[in-house]
Structure 1
Amino acid sequence: MRNVKISTRLYSLVGLALTILVLAITFFLNYSHAKLESERKHGLAQMDATAIAIFQKYYKLEQSGAMTREQAQTASKEVISAMRYGGNGYFWINDMHPTMIMHPIKPELNGTDLSQNKDPTGKFIFVQFANTVKKSGEGFVDYY
């Protein structure tokens, strides 16, 4: 080590410090991304719970005879169509086929078969939504 120039030692030390810094930043960014994603999923799950409570309310009204099934479904669709989150987020309703039941932004989709709809990566997203619910009862699907 005595025969190594001081400049080489300094470059090695700086290189090691930069490597450690890059690794620390990478770890921090990955941790931050995972934490933000977890918080967002938690927030969405709470919003979903609100939507489910709305469906349950109107289902109980139907079961009690206070509303017909059609009235209960119409009322729940109206309330859900007005729900928003995060500035531009919204809720829609599709069945397990998947057929669009209610879309608040594109009502022309209502009643249409969504099984062939793909995201830009080629994923059949509505089929994936339905499969996730069939498999787990709930969940998240990444799409673009």
Structure 2
Amino acid sequence: MTLRPNVILFLSVVTLILTGCSSATEGDESEQQNPMPVTGVPVQWKTQVEVTQFFPARMEAAKTTAMASELAGRLMKVEVEEGDLVNEGDLLFSVDTQLLEQQQLASEARLASLNADLELTEKRLQRQRNLKRSDFSSNDELDALEAQLKKFKHNRI
């Protein structure tokens, strides 16, 4: 009794195989009657063959450089991207110069004021020297103006 289920299974498999083969041959015959058109390309003999291959990869810089500005300020624009090739002297980034321009204007105003004070002191010193020759001026006033003149000249450096 144990052989019976195996025999039934074997016969079922053989039946399925034979049925599948007979239907495949019928389809092949219909395809042979209506052939599909195919275009051909003439063969060309070549002594060398060029093969293009692509390999995914990532390049990493062997050397990195930190960038910084000598003057503090707000970064306005970055001119280059990571990986760009740059040469010496290329503009890398722009810094907001509004604060620096204000400091420059203040320094120029201070310099103009010091120059005016220096000119006035030189004129007063010259007058005091002329008065001293005529004995109408004291040494104290002359010494004070000479000291002030030295101070102005020292601050200009």
Please state which band the TM-score falls in when normalised by the shorter chain.
0.3 to 0.5
Query: Larger Cα Rg: Structure 1 or Structure 2?
Result: 2
Higher helix share: 1
- TM-score scaled by structure 2? 0.33
Query: RCO greater where, 1 or 2, for CA within 8 Å and sep 6 or more?
Result: 2
- TM-score scaled by structure 1? 0.35
